[in-house]
């Protein structure tokens, strides 16, 4: 379907114009609304006369940096597994997450830090902006290889708004706890992406099938992403929790949960593999399910055993999902899920929400002592029983599922607008559509330097 030159030029200009437009808009909104908060502003900080060590920066910045690494290195490289889509995987992650950080500062700031006509920012806003970017990247995983960068920016534009709205309803209106985002980040991001992918269903995707797999080195690059996600996940789940007693158990629970999901992923991958062989796709993804599954409950008194059990279950379910459910998802439900986000973020996110229901329902004053105030403030104030909190957690799960399904479907319709630049079915999973791609090893055919060449060195 070769278009007229004019349409072609129009398509070429979509990405630059959209970048400039979005950047201009957020810059204006920043100028009008965004201000330093009282821990970041020189005058306000000194006016309050704190000691330096009290600045929230020192409590949260190291965790922020770990989260920041997960978003850009972790997600970016995890998606490099495709043989010819490495530039796009890491590059479009970079672009769409950078935009999401700005845009979600505005959207989340409006919901959570809007006082006196201004949004006040500091390290906590930075962490939450990165969290929102994480949800956008999870959705990106579902449509990886089948969307252009302008489409991805539009997806982020919509998704960030719905993320902020969903989070506000869930956490602020319903009083649901979800520090590490099993519901708000993982389930929301996954089902948003899956709904969107359903609308963008390509019956002729077969034409690009030869590019859909990995090659040896692309799988190693992807393991960089996996390992950085895995090691820093304890920081992810603990970064936004209460100082002191909140962050410590959140990190510890996540740490143990991930070890268990790793063991169960290796076990299940070998069990269902041909001749008992391990599958890199399982290791790269399902081993991370332990981080997702304790996203809601990591800050609770889950117990170290509970963390192991949860991680084990999540790794098992996720691995089986890759093996048995992903093919059905495509063939029966017409959802093409490139990275299998349903297995890692979708199912493990829902499991994590249910685990949160259970652990919240078991909360007692004895188990939490004065710490109850920070984990379950409604219980501490006597406004809710543990069962009531559990019911809120359970009911809350439907909020992100609804926001994600409806929002993702709307997003899909938006991205199907015919004038948007999208790769044709035969050019999916191919960097060359959007990038100048150098040749591969062109020089190596020449072999090692010849002796006479090296002689000239002397």
Using DSSP, state whether 82 is helix, strand or coil: strand
The residue (of 75 and 191) whose beta carbon lies closer to a copy of itself is 75
Q: What is the DSSP secondary structure assignment for residue 213, as one 8-state letter? A: S
Q: Of 20 and 413, which has the nearer Cβ to a copy of itself? A: 20
Strands of 114-115's sheet, edge to edge? Answer: 34-36, 118-121, 114-115
Q: Which position has the token pair 């089986």? A: 320
Q: How far is the CB of 142 from a copy of itself (least distance, A)?
A: 22
Which residue, 4 or 331, has its beta carbon nearer to a copy of itself?
A: 4
The smaller minimum CB distance to a copy of itself, of residues 164 and 234, is found at 234
Distance CA 380, CA 269 (A): 44
177 phi-psi bin (left φ>0, alpha ψ -120 to 50, beta other): beta
- State which residue, 332 or 366, has the beta carbon closest to a copy of itself: 366
Q: How far is the CB of 47 from a copy of itself (least distance, A)?
A: 6
For residue 257, the surrounding DSSP H or E stretch is helix 247-272
Task: Tokens 């991958």: give the residue.
Answer: 269
Q: Which residues pair with 114 in a beta bridge?
A: 119
In angstroms, what is the minimal distance from the CB of 297 to a copy of itself? 13
What DSSP assignment string belongs to 20-42? Answer: HHHHHHHHHHHHHHEEE-TTT-H
SS3 sequence of 327-349: HHHHHCCCCCCCCCHHHHHHHHH
The smaller minimum CB distance to a copy of itself, of residues 306 and 408, is found at 306
Nearer to a copy of itself, 137 or 194 (CB): 137
Tell me whether residue 198 or residue 384 sits nearer to a copy of itself (CB atom). Answer: 384
- Beta carbon of residue 193, minimum distance to a copy of itself (angstroms, whole number): 21
CB of 122 to a copy of itself, least distance (A): 7
Residues 389 and 13: their CA atoms lie apart, in Å, by 51
Q: Which is nearer to a copy of itself, 187 or 251 (CB)?
A: 251
Compute the least distance from the CB of residue 394 to a copy of itself, in Å: 22
Distance in Å, CB of 173 to a copy of itself, minimum:
25
Cβ-Cβ contacts under 8 Å for 196 (sequence gap 6 or more): 139, 142, 143, 155, 408, 409, 411, 412, 415
Beta bridge partners of 178: none
3-state secondary structure of 176: coil
Whichever of 24 and 334 has its CB closer to a copy of itself, that residue is 24
Task: Tell the smallest beta-carbon distance from residue 372 to a copy of itself (Å).
Answer: 7
* Torsion angles phi and psi, residue 277, rounded to 5: -85, 150
Q: How far is the CB of 164 from a copy of itself (least distance, A)?
A: 17
DSSP symbols for 85-141? -HHHHHHHHHHHHHHHHHHHHHHHHHHHSEETTEEEESHHHHHHHHHHHHHHHHHHH
Q: How far is the C-alpha of 247 from the C-alpha of 375, rounded, in Å?
A: 11
Q: Provide, rounded to whole angstroms, the least separation between the CB of residue 402 and a copy of itself.
A: 30
Q: Please name every residue paired with 120 in a beta bridge, in sequence order, or none if there are none.
A: 35
């Amino acid at each position: 379907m070769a278009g007229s030159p004019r349409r072609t030029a129009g398509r070429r200009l979509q990405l630059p114009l959209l970048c400039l437009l979005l950047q201009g808009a957020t810059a204006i909104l920043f100028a009008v609304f965004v201000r330093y908060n009282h821990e970041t502003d020189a005058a306000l900080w000194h006016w309050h006369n704190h000691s330096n060590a009290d600045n929230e920066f020192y409590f949260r910045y190291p965790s922020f940096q770990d989260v920041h690494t997960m978003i850009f290195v972790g997600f970016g490289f995890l998606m490099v597994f495709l043989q010819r889509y490495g530039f796009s995987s890491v590059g479009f992650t970079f672009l769409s997450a950078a935009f999401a950080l700005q845009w979600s500062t505005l959207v989340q700031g409006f919901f959570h830090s809007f006082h006196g006509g201004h949004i006040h920012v500091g390290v906590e806003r930075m962490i939450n902006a990165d969290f929102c970017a994480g949800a956008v990247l999870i959705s990106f995983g579902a449509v990886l290889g089948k969307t252009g960068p302008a489409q991805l920016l539009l997806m982020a534009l919509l998704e960030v708004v719905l993320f902020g709205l969903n989070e506000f309803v869930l956490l602020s209106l319903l009083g649901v706890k979800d520090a590490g985002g099993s519901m708000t980040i993982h389930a929301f991001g996954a089902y948003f992406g899956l709904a969107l992918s359903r609308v963008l269903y390509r019956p002729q995707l077969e034409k690009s099938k030869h590019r859909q797999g990995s090659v040896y080195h692309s799988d190693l690059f992807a393991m960089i992403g996996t390992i950085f996600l895995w090691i820093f996940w304890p920081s992810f789940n603990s970064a936004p929790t209460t100082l002191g007693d909140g962050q410590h158990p959140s990190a510890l629970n996540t740490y143990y949960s991930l070890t268990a999901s790793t063991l169960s992923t290796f076990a299940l991958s070998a069990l269902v593999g041909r001749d008992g062989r391990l599958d890199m796709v399982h290791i790269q993804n399902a081993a991370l399910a332990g981080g997702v599954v304790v996203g809601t409950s990591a800050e609770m008194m889950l117990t170290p055993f509970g963390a192991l059990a949860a991680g084990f279950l999540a790794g098992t379910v996720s691995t089986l999902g890759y093996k048995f459910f992903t093919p059905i998802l495509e063939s029966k439900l017409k959802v093409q899920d490139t990275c299998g986000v349903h297995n890692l973020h979708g199912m493990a996110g829902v499991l994590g929400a249910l685990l949160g229901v259970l652990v919240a329902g078991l909360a007692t004053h004895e188990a939490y002592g004065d710490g109850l105030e920070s984990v379950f403030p409604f219980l501490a104030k006597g406004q809710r029983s543990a069962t009531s909190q559990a019911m809120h957690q359970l009911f809350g799960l439907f909020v992100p599922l609804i926001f994600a399904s409806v929002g993702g479907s709307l997003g899909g319709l938006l991205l199907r607008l015919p004038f948007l630049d999208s790769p044709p079915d035969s050019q999916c999973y191919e960097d060359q559509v959007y990038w100048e791609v150098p040749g591969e090893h062109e020089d190596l055919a020449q072999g090692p330097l010849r002796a006479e060449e090296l002689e000239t060195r002397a």
